[in-house]
Structure 1
């Protein structure tokens, strides 16, 4: 009975002291939080966003088609300037000029790879013979 009473009194005291220290740690962490933390916390809560009643209304004199015509004229001017630029013109020889550039670049490197050092037919036959074990291949050859 005495041991049970000690446990019943001691455990809540230990939990209370643990909670007190954890609350002070959390409070310290909140005070030492980085600059962006408060903005993120506000965003998560959903605060700072405009209310639906605050949505601006469209001006009655606004006509969507007006700006489209002006932007079409701007695009035509930009396309004409691009077409007039010498760098936009395709080369007359086209593919021949590209092939010449490729040949020039390839000529800067050493010619090709060295010849391969592959096995000769006799070396291949020797390797195959080394794997020819009669007790293993006997059944395969007869079939």
Structure 2
């Protein structure tokens, strides 16, 4: 009994000392945490959110139906301003420039082989032979 009690007490003391130093390290790390850490902790805990039973009150004059015509008028005004702006007009040579860019890209790809058979028959046979393992492909046929 004495032989097991002393090692158990020694191990318990070592664990206690090790845990106490790790708690101090964790506490130090929390104290040195960046600014966003406390906000994230509150978010994870679920604190600071409104309750579902709390119904927000709408201020007078801000009812959803009353603000839609005003936003529609604002969109119409912005659309008219955009249409009247000189920068919104397409340049006279716009389509020609777009076609020139398309032709330049096509010429870059002109040197490539367009066929889907980009491997030669010899390369295909070499790939098939690399996967041909006789003990697997032929050995199973003879066991039946």
Scaled by the length of structure 1, the TM-score of the pair is 0.54
Shift of 1:75: 2.1
Deviation at 1:32, TM superposition (A): 2.1
Change (3 A) 1:90 1:62: closer
Alignment of 1:62-101 (within 5 A): 63-91=63-91, 95-96=95-96, 98=97
Q: Tell me which residue corresponds to 1:32.
A: 32
Question: How much has 1:92 moved relative to structure 2?
Answer: 5.0
> Quick one: distance in 1 between partners of 2:94 and 2:20?
80
Shift of 1:60: 7.2
Q: What 5-or-longer segments of structure 1 have no aligned partner? A: 107-111, 117-143
* Structure 2 residue 19 is matched with structure 1 residue 56: no
Taking structure 1 as reference, are residues 39 and 95 closer, same or farther at Cα in structure 2, changes over 3 Å only? closer
Specify whether residues 94 and 61 from structure 1 end up closer, same or farther in structure 2 by C-alpha distance, changes over 3 A only.
closer
CA distance in 2, matches of 1:2, 1:18: 24
Q: Distance in 2 between matches of 1:43 and 1:61?
A: 33
- The structure having more radius of gyration, on CA atoms, is 1
Q: CA, structure 1 residues 91+12, in 2 after alignment: closer, same or farther (shift >3 Å)?
A: closer
Structure 1 segments, 4+ long, off by >6 Å, are none
Q: 1:3 to 1:44 in 2, by over 3 A?
A: same
Shift, 1:2, TM fit: 4.0
Superposition TM-score, scaled by structure 2 size: 0.54
Counterparts of 1:65 and 1:35, CA distance in 2: 41
Please list the CA deviations of residues 89-137 of structure 1 after superposition, one character each: whole Å capped at 9, or x if unmatched. 34456645x37x949xx8xxxxx99xx9xxxxxxxxxxxxxxxxxxxxx
